[in-house]
Amino acid sequence: MAIVSGDTKVFTILGSCVAVVLWDEHSKIGGVNHFLLPNWNNKGAPDVRYGDVAVTELHDKTILSGAVKRRLVAKMYGGASLLNFETSGFNIGKRNIDVARQQLKELHIPIVEEEIGGKTGRKILFDPQTGHVKVDLIKNINF
Check which CATH number belongs to the domain holding 98 and give it: 3.30.1330.200
Please tell me the predicted confidence (pLDDT) of residue 42: 82
Please tell me the predicted confidence (pLDDT) of residue 84: 63
Is residue 40 in a domain? yes
Is residue 90 in a domain? yes
Please tell me the predicted confidence (pLDDT) of residue 24: 98
User: Which mean pLDDT values do the consecutive 10-residue runs of the chain (143 residues) have?
Assistant: 96 96 98 94 86 97 98 97 66 95 98 95 97 91 51
Please tell me the predicted confidence (pLDDT) of residue 143: 47
Please tell me the predicted confidence (pLDDT) of residue 141: 54
Which segments of the chain are extended strands (E)? Answer: 2-4, 10-14, 18-24, 29-32, 72-78, 111-116, 121-126, 133-138
Q: Give the list of residues 6+ apart from residue 125 with CB closer than 8 angstroms, or none.
A: 9, 10, 11, 133, 134
Domain residues for the domain of 83 are: 2-138
Is residue 67 in a domain? yes
Is residue 143 in a domain? no
Please tell me the predicted confidence (pLDDT) of residue 44: 81
Number of domains in the chain: 1
Beta bridge partners of 12: 124
pTM: 0.92
